[in-house]
Amino acid sequence: MTTDTPATVRVAGLTRVFGDGGHAVRALDNVDLQVKGGEFFTLLGPSGCGKSTLLRLLAGLERPTAGTVHIDGRDVTALGPDRRPVNTVFQQYALFPHLSVADNIGFGLRMLGWSRSDRAARVYEMLALIQLEGLAARRPDALSGGQQQRVALARALAPAPRVLLLDEPLSALDVKLRREMQDELKRLQRETHVTCVFVTHDQDEALALSDRVAVMREGRICQVDTPAGLYEAPADAAVASFVGDASFLEVELLDTADGQATVRLPGGSVVRAVLAAGGTARGGDRVTAMVRPERVQVGAPGDGALEATVEEARYEGGTTRLRLCLDDGTTLFARAGAAPAWQPGARVGVTLPDGALRVLPA
């Protein structure tokens, strides 16, 4: 099953203020954003950052205080949810308990006036898409959580919306089922080619599912990038700390050239680092540099440029996450093999290879 050319979504100057006077809360602050047709686009951020408010504005469930919403170049800002080419899947599946799986999927089609034969054909198509053909007659209480989520997705996809909006739809599932449903959701999106806007606070989920991600904070968008771009090249310390594990060191900036920097580590060693765009620091300044745990090399005492004490060794299956305390008191995270020799209290040497550090904008 395919749709026509996938829909684009664009918002300009979008602002939403709740309340007034001294009690006003600016939930969304002058947001500009463009989602490409057929893209799986994720809004990522902590609770209260404005991501669900933005999704509700796209759905027409809220009206903006200022700004516009366009779908396929058409201004839909003043249109209600029933007049927009979108469908929304919420955290709670909201399936009708007295209806069968087939009737739940076909409910929206019936409201839209589809004929009985057309509804039946579409429901069969959707059941095949979610791979639940044998469960058409069951009611929701006879389904697992993952099966219920599939039905909710099928119901939303059945009218062939131009845009599918997903508000943390997997958060109620256990870890294993959640991962399975991530794969399922990506498969459904790939097969239908529908443009998806997905809301989550789970960074791993965002990185696993998305073509691009917008990281939000305090009603604004901090950075829009691919998952790899966000992880490898965060715009600032806030994005770096929210997307994946990150450690931060204060280093001395010696010189810069062509996106590279030479820095002096706390122990005096000099290494090459990547210089993030947008900074104003100059040679001699003290700056903040970020490093991801997999780039930190841990060895025997005296083997590295830095010395540290292991504070925690947390086994995570294929790897062990180490929390280290450098001799100047800085906390540094590292990843080692599944069964490293170091336990809490052990002394280790730490090496930060050239290019492991990223100097962040001042």
Output the average pLDDT for the chain: 91
* DSSP reduced 3-state for 125: helix
Q: For residue 151, report the phi and psi dihedrals to the nearest 5 degrees.
A: -65, -40
Q: Give span(s): CATH 3.40.50.300, the chain.
A: 9-237
pLDDT of residue 57: 97
Judged against a pLDDT cut of 50, whether residue 317 lies above it is answered with: yes
pLDDT digit string, tens, across residues 175-234: 888 888 889 889 889 999 999 999 999 999 999 999 999 999 999 999 999 999 999 999
Query: Where is average pLDDT lowest: 13-27, 130-144, 275-289?
Result: 275-289
21 or 137: whose pLDDT is higher?
A: 137
The boundaries of every CATH 2.40.50.140 domain in the chain are 245-359
**For the chain, the helix, strand and coil percentages under 3-state DSSP, each to the nearest 5:** 25, 35, 40
pTM above 0.95, yes or no: no
CATH number of 245-359: 2.40.50.140
- What distance in Å separates the CA atoms of residue 258 and residue 216, rounded to the nearest whole number? 29
Per-residue pLDDT, 259: 84
Domain 9-237: top CATH class: alpha beta
Please check whether residue 64 is in contact with residue 16, taking contact to mean a CB–CB distance below 8 angstroms: yes
pLDDT surpasses 60 at 2 = no
Reported as a pLDDT band with limits 50, 70 and 90, residue 3 is very low
Q: Which residues face 71 on adjacent strands?
A: 9, 74
| pLDDT, tens digit (0-9, with 9 covering 90-100), for 78-121 | 999 999 999 999 877 789 999 999 999 999 999 999 999 999 99
Q: Are 14 and 75 in contact (CB under 8 A)?
A: no
pLDDT digits (tens, 9 = 90+) for 120-143: 999 999 999 888 999 999 999 999
Query: Cα dihedral angle (156, 158, 164, 168), rounded to 10 degrees?
Result: 30
Higher pLDDT, 240 or 2: 240
Question: How much of the chain exceeds pLDDT 90, in percent?
Answer: 68
